Homo-oligomer: A and B are copies of this chain.
């Protein structure tokens, strides 16, 4: 195991599992702090603000600071700001997204936007989707916080942001720029913020198809942990393997 200069860390399946704690997670974070290794939590969730995520982690005895949480919404806002000086955005999304955009000085508009930005929106409507489709056809850029098609809940699978992205794609024929995992874009934004190069950092997560793929796409080493979605057996069936895989995070710092 190399001495990495920064860790990017997934949440669900890695730090906790739904509403249940993963006992080894809190120690792992404490160890990073003790060794003074910078880290960021990286999450595809675009509706929650970093403040809410910090509160959620606290329930699992994990102490995080707001600036240590990188959401797909924050990364989207940073990404847009890098594209041009003043950005006008038509937005489908909740407070986690609108707040992130406003904090970066992005103007939220109904008409004539530079970009149509789409995150999960539990108040989504026919009208919003129709307007997004028309604006994308008229030439606005099309940016998606994250591509997750379905989200597990107690009641069953419910539509995730990717389901609505796919709908807009099906109607317009245009493909979005996707910021969240499994692309490497959100991870690159987090590494820029940390001032660490991809080759010197490691991505930690349980889900091969999102976390590990994103790490690989960002040019990072990757640590797969078997406490979540992808089992050790499933992992073996995938192409490019993660740099490491562990049963729990307690195996890591020894």
> What is the distance, in angstroms, from A144's C-beta to the closest C-beta of chain B?
15
* A166 partner, pick from B127, B133, B138, B170, beta carbons under 8 A: B170
Q: How many residues of A contact B (CB 8 A)?
A: 28
Contact A126 B123 (CB under 8 A): yes
Measured CA separation A171–B167 after assembly (Å): 12
* A124 partner, pick from B126, B133, B160, B172, beta carbons under 8 A: B126
When distances are taken between beta carbons in the complex, the residues of chain B under 8 Å from A170 are: 149-150, 163, 166
Contact A133 B156 (CB under 8 A): yes
Q: Is A159 an interface residue (CB 8 A)?
A: yes
Q: Is A36 an interface residue (CB 8 A)?
A: no
Contact B171 A150 (CB under 8 A): yes
Measured CA separation A5–B170 after assembly (Å): 40
Contact A171 B149 (CB under 8 A): yes
> What is the distance, in angstroms, from A122's C-beta to the closest C-beta of chain B?
5
> What is the distance, in angstroms, from A123's C-beta to the closest C-beta of chain B?
6
By beta carbon, the residue of chain B nearest A135 is B156
> What is the distance, in angstroms, from A131's C-beta to the closest C-beta of chain B?
9
Measured CA separation A101–B248 after assembly (Å): 54
By beta carbon, the residue of chain B nearest A155 is B134
Measured CA separation A160–B172 after assembly (Å): 12
In chain A, residues 102-144, which have Cβ atoms closer than 8 Å to a Cβ of chain B?
121-127, 129-130, 133-134, 137-138
Q: Is A52 an interface residue (CB 8 A)?
A: no
Q: Is A209 an interface residue (CB 8 A)?
A: no
* A158 partner, pick from B122, B130, B157, beta carbons under 8 A: B130
Q: A123-B126, A159-B167, A160-B171 are in contact. List 10 more A-B contacts (CB 8 A).
A: A121-B126, A123-B125, A124-B126, A130-B159, A134-B155, A134-B157, A137-B157, A149-B171, A158-B171, A159-B171
